[in-house]
A and B are shown apart, each in its own frame.
Chain A
Amino acid sequence: MNQSVYNTPNTKPEINRHILTVLVDNEPGVLARVIGMFSGRGYNIDSLNVAEVNNNNHLSRITIVTHGTKEVVQQIQSQLMRIVPVHSVINLDKEGRSVEAEVALIYMFLNDENKKEAYQICDFFRARKIENENNTIIFEIAGASERINTFIKDISKIALIEIVRSGPVAISSINKNNKEE
């Protein structure tokens, strides 16, 4: 459970999935600092997402999905706070309520035989076809990761596909009316 070479007393550590949202100064090297800390200390990154969220102050939000015991995730949060450009680290699971979503783009190799069924599945999952200059079949689907998983599972049964996924982003859904930002 920890980084020591010595065996530890804990019997059955409970490993859970956690979503950390990290607000950082958008400066060169900031992402390397964050992911370097994870790899250097042997923590897991299941997915990671970064984009600038405040153009005036150059702030970026990094969403990291990780898994580990309560202690490990607490340690990850403390270690993240030691990174100079990090403003805040919030464990969204700890906050209790949050919503998450991700986007996937799917390139489909379709023919006359499977086209109809594929379109039906896309329709059922509310995947949207993206028009493009080459007239190839690319669908976009957004939503909870589980829904995207099911969609991919279903569609890959009938067609050859190529997938790109963003990994989830998440935000706290707690009422913030009284708070700023």
Chain B
Amino acid sequence: MSEPLTGAEIVLKSLSDQGVEVIFGYPGGAVLPIYDSLFKQNSIRHILVRQEGGAIHAAEGYARSTGKIGVVLVTSGPGATNVVTGLTDAMMDSVPIVCITGQVPQHLIGSDAFQECDTTGITRPCTKHNYLVKDVNKLSSVFHEAFAIANNGRPGPVLIDIPKDVQFATGKYENKEKNLIPKHRLFEPQVKANEKSIEDAVKLIANAEKPIFYIGGGCINSGVEASNLVTQFVEETNFPATMTLMGLGVLPSSHKNSLGMLGMHGMYEANMAMHDCDVMINIGARFDDRVTGRLDSFSPNSKKIHIDIDASNINKTINVDIPIIGDIKSVMKQFFSSWEKNQFKVKKNNLDIWWNQINEWKKIDCLGFEQNDSIIKPQHAIKRLYELTKDRKTFITTEVGQHQMWAAQYYKFEKPNRWLTSGGLGTMGYGLPAAIGAQVANPKDLVIDIAGDASILMNIQEMSTAVQHRLPVKIFILNNEYMGMVRQWQELLHGGRYSESYTDSLPDFVKLAESFKAKGLRAKKVDELDDVIKEMINSEETVIADIWINKEENCFPMIQSGSAHNEMLLNKEQKQDKKSAEKGKVLV
């Protein structure tokens, strides 16, 4: 029926069949045939990055801000090894990515050829699945399967390695519809959960006296409707709810039931409520160690319900009483129908007492700070950024470190898919390329990378990408000349010996921006801050805003490693007790 195509043409046809609009990539010897086919078509836009690591983070930003699959195209050898960090990041944070790598021609595989590496071997543990395609006739079916796997169940990255001779060879193309993927290869994810566990869970919820919802990034992956359903269920029960770093935005931050983020730098009231609760309803979170703190004293008196699409997350670190395997959207619907069918009512009196307790904890005002002198406090900078951008559709990305935690604490997220941060892997250098990806997907909206002075330098070359593609991303650097989080840990755990955490010879970020033909702004004093933020967000250019902040500021509240949820430090003056400090030292 159809004419034979070259492997490279099949790649492009598969991508457009899958509805791909944008790919992020960097050319090289082993992908030249694909770049040649790319040149001859107009439906797919290519964003040229400056280093492959940037391409994959940009694809992550694109995917997380849209819910679509991010696509990456890089060459063999160093091209492939440079995407390994991003693949691992996408694996940890469940981001759907399809990454295409070139490979040396088949007759050279295994000969240590120029720019050869064992790509599928290297990326096996950091992808959901990967392929080395040796037969051009299988190329299209591999692509269709790869897209299905990336998005199916718990999303993740899939890599397709294509030897150069396969890109040149001619073969037949199979349509997406015709291509039947064997069921077992898609994990046959249990979308609808077991009715019995739903009944048990709902009954437990109805009888709870000190309940809490613990909401994670799985809700965002399940789609906007899932977030709405979760919010409705929180309202129906009037239970308090806390969100993980990945789950911010599922429930609006301004919602009266929201206790904000929990975990190591989470809210005091959220962590205390997690510790003291009698029923915990985990929706799409995975009991990450940043959340649980010390395991043997994690929420010791609660019955735990855990909803997750990935069975391997159940009982991985915390044993739960009612595991529910399923997609959150359908599980929440099942919750509602069971709730209504049984005409369950919550225990209002007990709940009132619980809320009174929580309100007592809130009075501590764990995020309180004083901005009195002229040096800008980082908390104040984020607060102002939020106030001045809250009325616009704003996407926030971050790098990793203190600025990331301050952003999570002080920027209030009202909607899902607006907050893009590297949670599981904690990849410095994530924010700028992720912002580029988000801006590509949302050209009219405001995209801000809240960065630190150390992190931003890890992928600063992507400034060039942003300017070339006219992507007006805003980089808001909280500059304290330190790797702030490293310094904070050295202060708390290593006697204030700041080994290699001070950055000497930082660039002049304003001049740096200008050298990329972008706009550079700076605020040194508190009275300059608002003007800089306004100028930044009103500019149509790519902007770096260099905000000089108080150098010694630390990120609080904090549960130090080895401590439990009810042992938070609220400020510098408090110290962790010696025994847990010693134990905590060995932990990450």
A6-B124 CB under 8 A given contacts A28-B132, A78-B311, A82-B312 = no
1/0 per residue A12-51: CB within 8 Å of B? 0000000000000100110011001100100000000000
Q: Does residue B344 face the partner (Cβ distance < 8 Å to A)? A: no
CA distance A35 to B291 in the complex (A): 30
**In whole Å, how far is B95's beta carbon from the nearest beta carbon of chain A?**
16
Question: Which single member of B187, B289, B315, B583 contacts A81 (CB below 8 Å)?
Answer: B187
In the assembled complex, 28 residue pairs joining A and B whose CB atoms fall closer than 8 Å, in A order, are A2-B316, A3-B316, A4-B292, A5-B588, A6-B293, A6-B296, A7-B295, A7-B296, A7-B583, A8-B295, A8-B296, A9-B296, A29-B120, A32-B121, A32-B124, A33-B124, A36-B124, A36-B125, A37-B125, A40-B125, A75-B316, A78-B310, A78-B312, A81-B187, A84-B149, A85-B185, A86-B184, A87-B184
Q: How many residues of A contact B (CB 8 A)?
A: 28
Q: Which B residues are in CB contact (< 8 Å) with A79?
A: 312
Q: Which of A55-106 contact B (CB under 8 A)?
A: 71, 74-75, 78-79, 81-82, 84-88
Q: Which residue of B lies closest to A33 (CB)?
A: B124
Is there an interface contact between B317 and A2, defined as CB atoms closer than 8 Å?
A: yes
Q: How many residues of B contact A (CB 8 A)?
A: 30
Interchain residue pairs A-B with the least CB separation, the first 4: A78-B312, A9-B296, A84-B129, A6-B295
**Total CB contacts across the A-B interface at under 8 A:** 69
Q: Which B residues are in CB contact (< 8 Å) with A25?
A: 185
**In whole Å, how far is B103's beta carbon from the nearest beta carbon of chain A?**
13
**In whole Å, how far is A90's beta carbon from the nearest beta carbon of chain B?**
14
A6-B185 CB under 8 A given contacts A78-B311, A82-B312 = no
Is there an interface contact between B295 and A81, defined as CB atoms closer than 8 Å?
A: no
Is there an interface contact between B292 and A6, defined as CB atoms closer than 8 Å?
A: yes
CA distance A5 to B293 in the complex (A): 10
Q: Does residue B350 face the partner (Cβ distance < 8 Å to A)? A: no
CA distance A29 to B130 in the complex (A): 10
**In whole Å, how far is B307's beta carbon from the nearest beta carbon of chain A?**
16
CA distance A29 to B118 in the complex (A): 12
CA distance A32 to B130 in the complex (A): 12
Q: Which A residues are in CB contact (< 8 Å) with B324?
A: none
CA distance A85 to B120 in the complex (A): 15
**In whole Å, how far is B375's beta carbon from the nearest beta carbon of chain A?**
36
**In whole Å, how far is A73's beta carbon from the nearest beta carbon of chain B?**
11
Is there an interface contact between A4 and B317, defined as CB atoms closer than 8 Å?
A: yes
Q: Which of A102-141 contact B (CB under 8 A)?
A: none
CA distance A8 to B295 in the complex (A): 6
Is there an interface contact between B315 and A71, defined as CB atoms closer than 8 Å?
A: yes
Q: Does residue B314 face the partner (Cβ distance < 8 Å to A)? A: yes
Is there an interface contact between A29 and B316, defined as CB atoms closer than 8 Å?
A: no
Q: Which B residues are in CB contact (< 8 Å) with A7?
A: 294-296, 583
Question: Which single member of B121, B289, B319 contacts A6 (CB below 8 Å)?
Answer: B289
Q: Which A residues are in CB contact (< 8 Å) with B312?
A: 75, 78-79, 81-82
**In whole Å, how far is B283's beta carbon from the nearest beta carbon of chain A?**
19
Is there an interface contact between B128 and A84, defined as CB atoms closer than 8 Å?
A: yes
Is there an interface contact between A75 and B587, defined as CB atoms closer than 8 Å?
A: no
Q: Which A residues are in CB contact (< 8 Å) with B292?
A: 4, 6
**In whole Å, how far is B192's beta carbon from the nearest beta carbon of chain A?**
18
**In whole Å, how far is A178's beta carbon from the nearest beta carbon of chain B?**
22
| Other 6 A-B pairs with CB < 8 A, given A33-B124, A75-B316 | A5-B586, A6-B295, A6-B317, A78-B311, A82-B128, A82-B187
**In whole Å, how far is A32's beta carbon from the nearest beta carbon of chain B?**
6
Q: Which A residues are in CB contact (< 8 Å) with B184?
A: 86-88
Q: Which A residues are in CB contact (< 8 Å) with B583?
A: 7
